[in-house]
A and B are shown apart, each in its own frame.
Chain A
Amino acid sequence: MNARRAVDRHARGLRLALVLLAGLLAACGDSAPPWGLKDISGLMPPLDFTLTEAGGGRRVHGGDFSGKVALLYFGYTHCPDVCPTTLSRLSRAVHALGTRAEQVVILFVSVDPARDTLAQLKGYAAAFGPGVVGLRGDEADIKALTKRYRVSYGYGKPDASGNYEVSHSSAVYVFDRKGRVRLLAGSTDDPDLITHDLQRLLGEDGGPPA
């Protein structure tokens, strides 16, 4: 297994190197260098929502995060594998930005408001670092927001003890400091690649110089 993991790491390193090299080559020409993540500029509406922030219990709006780069992800706390794996990778990618990490926010929206109380969501978000904000809305809020970003989710049949699985989109939308959608990350994207793109987004107009 160590060999397999080493191969994975090698492949990811190679991909990052290729992106960096492509960027270097493009810098010599006229075209903008490619992004490591998928460029979805203009394909989604700007960052906008009204939800309750789990940490402080207050209502927050998309505009409250203006000036920061925002990563929007939908999940649920009874999710032991995919959500923690995604959140930990995002968190590591942001942490690697060093002093600029506080200019990035990870917005974790629960699509399971029936089980995700504010207290539970607060603890879950905090487990992945100070840059993760847990957001809760009622069913109507979540329906409207997921429709806005074309995110799907669904509930499985409850078992004898009332537990049920939730299927949910694995997409992570990256918004720039002005709240415009820019990039799409997936659950398997390498943190180094995400850090690379976040650095570039942070260096754009609207924030302090890199």
Chain B
Amino acid sequence: MSRTLLALSALVMVLAAHAGQPEVSVSDARVRWLPGALPMAGYFVITSHVSGPLRLTGATSPAFGGVMMHRSVEEAGIARMVHVGGVDLPPDRPVAFAPGGYHLMLMQPRQDLHTGEEVPVTLRFSDDRTVTVGFRVMGAQDE
């Protein structure tokens, strides 16, 4: 129940500067905390309401030295991470960055992060638009 409420409260509607309706919405944005300077995974659900094709091409964050888009794949019982150059966002179809699949790899944290706080992450798209979203820091054991 509370997860749903959290997800709903974390729902971020992003308004394009030139249009009166949301063109990209991001919800349930979160980072899984890990100790030290280890890379952490960022998860979220993103939906494009743009009528044409739109592609998520990358991300940056002032809280991290670097951000990459990755996808975990499991083949024949072997798990590995694959670098992803971009992810297509079909109109009005939510695309999930979720455990065991697409995720942001947030590297070299620039400060100590604490569970419950939010860190800004800027998502970059194929049409040069950028969208900045607050990612909630969740505990290592959370999903």
A interface residues with partner B (beta carbon < 8 Å)? 1-2, 4, 77-82, 84-85, 87-89, 91-92, 120, 123-124, 126-129, 152, 156, 163, 165-171, 186-188
Contacts and interface: CB of A to CB of B under 8 A. Distances in A.
A124 B37 CA distance: 11
B74 interface: yes
Given A2-B7, A167-B80, A81 B33 contact: no
Nearest to B27: A1
A171 B140 CA distance: 20
Contact of B28 (A1, A168, A171, A188): A1
Nearest to A80: B41
A165 B41 CA distance: 14
13 contacts: A1-B28, A2-B7, A4-B94, A81-B72, A81-B100, A82-B79, A82-B81, A84-B32, A85-B100, A127-B33, A166-B80, A187-B100, A188-B100
Contact of A84 (B34, B45, B70, B78): B34
What are the nearest 6 A-B pairs in CB distance? A167-B80, A127-B140, A123-B35, A1-B45, A80-B41, A85-B99
A168 B78 CA distance: 5
Interface of B: 4, 7, 27-28, 32-36, 38-41, 45, 70, 72, 74, 77-81, 94, 96, 99-100, 103, 105-107, 139-143
Contact of B140 (A82, A84, A152, A167): A84
Contacts of B143: 85, 88-89
B79 A168 contact: yes
B17 to A, nearest CB: 26
Contacts of B34: 77, 80, 84, 124, 127
Contacts of A168: 78-80
Given A165-B80, A188-B100, A77 B41 contact: no
A78 B38 contact: yes
B32 A80 contact: yes
Nearest to A89: B143
A200 to B, nearest CB: 24
A129 B140 CA distance: 9
A188 B74 CA distance: 11
B141 A81 contact: no
B81 A88 contact: no
Contacts of B28: 1
B141 A187 contact: no
B77 A77 contact: no
Nearest to B8: A2
Contacts of A126: 35
Given A77-B38, A127-B35, A165 B81 contact: yes
A4 B80 CA distance: 24
A92 B140 CA distance: 11
A187 B27 contact: no
Most A CB within 10 A of own CB, among B77, B79, B80: B79
B94 A1 contact: yes
B72 A124 contact: no
B7 to A, nearest CB: 6
Contacts of A129: 141
Contacts of B103: 80-81
